Amino acid sequence: MNFDILKNQSALNINCIRNFQHPIQYNNNLNIIYNKLFYSTNNNKKKGLLGLVLNQDGKGGCLVDIRVREPIITRSDYFKRFAKRVAATSLFLGSEIEQQNNSKKKKVKAGKCQIINTNKLLESPLLPHPNANPVDESEFQFQLVKDALNNCSWKLNDELEIYRSIISQHSSRVVTGGFIMTIPKNGSIETPIDIINCLTNLSDEDTILQEQGFGELASMLTLSLKGKRSKAVSVCRKMSRFANQLAKHITVFNPLYISENEYKKKTKKTEVPDEDKDKILLNQKFMFDNEHTVAEALKNVGDIDDVEVTVSSFVRWSI
C-alpha cells in the first residue's frame, strides 16, 4: 500500500448539529430538553458500541456488541463498566453458554472463536471485571445479566440490547489478538485508505475511548502455535504482539477468508478467480511489511523461535 497518500489528506469534515428547528422554551421540563438535545426522532435503528477485552497474556479474549438508540450514552463510564462485565461473563463462562448447532452437536475446537448464545448469557449471573473500576463495589452485584441490562437501560434512559458476543477461551499453544477503533461521525470506512485516514484523525475523546477498548469497528483472531517452544512465555508474548498487529491488518483490509482452501470449501469453487484473491487473508500484503504477504509474515515471525504459526480463526465486526 502507498502510504504517501496520507500526507496530502484533507481534514475530516465533522459537521455540527444543524436543522434545530424548535427552540427550547423556558417552561419545558428537563426531560424534553434532554430529548431535544440528544435524541433523534427520525431514526429508530439501533446503534451502539463494540467492546474488546483481551487477557494480558494473550490467552483468550472477548468481543461484545451492545446496541443502543442513542450512541451518546455509550460514552458514559456506567455503560462502559457494564459492557466490560458482560465481556468478562462471556469469557469466564465460555463453553457453558456458547452457541451450538443443535442438529449436529459439533463442538468448537479449542482456541477458535466461539459465538456466545445471548439467551444463555442473559440468564447468567453478571460477573465482575478487574478493569471495570466500579465507583461502587455493590454495582451490578448479585444480578443476572438480563436484570442488570434492564437496570442499565432505565438508568441511561435508553433501550439496551446485547446484540452478539464472541470469545476465544484460554488454551495452550493458542494466542488471541485484537484491535478496535472508533470512527469519526462523518468518516467514510469503505476502503483501507478511509480507515487509515480515520485512525489518523481521531479526537482526543475518541482516542481515550479506543484505549479503553471501545469502538465501532473491531477484529479479533486466534493464532495456533506448533513446536517445542510454543508454550514458552517469551514466545507467547511475542506472538501476542504480532496477533494484535495482524488484527489491525484485518480491521483495515477486511479479508473474508483465511486461506484458499477455506475459500474453496465455503464457495464450492475449485479455483480462486483473480478478482477474489485479495479477499483471502494469507494472500494480502501485510500492512506492516509491504514486501511480504501475510502468509510470509507468519512464517518469518515463527522462524525466529522455530515455531509454526497459523491463523485458526478471525472475526471482523462493525456497527
287-307 per-residue burial string, b: 16 or more CB within 10 A, e: under 16: beeeeebbbebbeebbeebeb
Residue type for 150, please?
A: N
Q: What is the mean pLDDT of the segment spanning 52-70?
A: 88
Distance, in Å, from the CA atom of 317 to the CA atom of 315, rounded to the nearest integer, reads 7
Question: 306 φ, ψ to 5°?
Answer: 55, 50
Q: In this predicted structure, what is the pLDDT of residue 195?
A: 85
- SS3 call for 232: coil
Q: What is the mean pLDDT of the segment spanning 75-100?
A: 86
CA angle 167, 173, 179 (to 5 degrees): 45
pLDDT, tens digit, for every residue of 84-95?
A: 999 989 988 887
Question: 270 φ, ψ to 5°?
Answer: -90, -20
Give the pLDDT band (50/70/90) at residue 62: very high
How far from each other are the two terminal CA atoms of the chain, in whole angstroms? Answer: 26
Give the pLDDT band (50/70/90) at residue 144: very high
Query: Is the Cβ–Cβ distance between 202 and 294 less than 8 Å?
Result: no
Q: In this predicted structure, what is the pLDDT of residue 27?
A: 37
Distance, in Å, from the CA atom of 18 to the CA atom of 185, rounded to the nearest integer, reads 14
pLDDT, tens digit, for every residue of 145-187?
A: 999 999 989 988 889 999 999 999 777 889 999 999 988 766 6
Instruction: Give the contacts of 160 (CB within 8 A, at least 6 positions apart).
Output: 66, 67, 68, 149, 152, 153
C-alpha cell at 274: 483473480
pLDDT, tens digit, for every residue of 216-226?
A: 999 999 999 99
258-283 per-residue burial string, b: 16 or more CB within 10 A, e: under 16: bbbeebeeeeeeeebeeebeebbbbb
Q: Please report, for residues 7, 182, 192, 290, the alpha-carbon distance to residue 197 in angstroms, rounded to integers and kept in the order given.
A: 10, 12, 9, 18
Q: Which of 9-18, 107-116, 195-204 has the highest mean pLDDT?
A: 195-204
Q: In this predicted structure, what is the pLDDT of residue 138?
A: 66
pLDDT, tens digit, for every residue of 102-127?
A: 445 455 555 688 999 999 999 999 98
Higher pLDDT, 35 or 243: 243
Q: In this predicted structure, what is the pLDDT of residue 186?
A: 63
Distance, in Å, from the CA atom of 301 to the CA atom of 279, rounded to the nearest integer, reads 22
pLDDT, tens digit, for every residue of 274-303?
A: 889 999 999 999 999 878 999 999 999 999
Q: Would you state the CATH architecture of domain 27-171?
A: 2-Layer Sandwich (3.30)
Instruction: Give the contacts of 74 (CB within 8 A, at least 6 positions apart).
Output: 48, 49, 66, 68, 80, 214
- Domain borders along the chain are 27-171
Q: What is the mean pLDDT of the segment spanning 231-252?
A: 91
Q: What is the mean pLDDT of the segment spanning 240-267?
A: 94
Query: Is the Cβ–Cβ distance between 127 and 85 less than 8 Å?
Result: yes
Q: Can you tell me which residue has the cell 451518546?
A: 72
Q: In this predicted structure, what is the pLDDT of residue 28?
A: 40
Distance, in Å, from the CA atom of 44 to the CA atom of 46, rounded to the nearest integer, reads 6
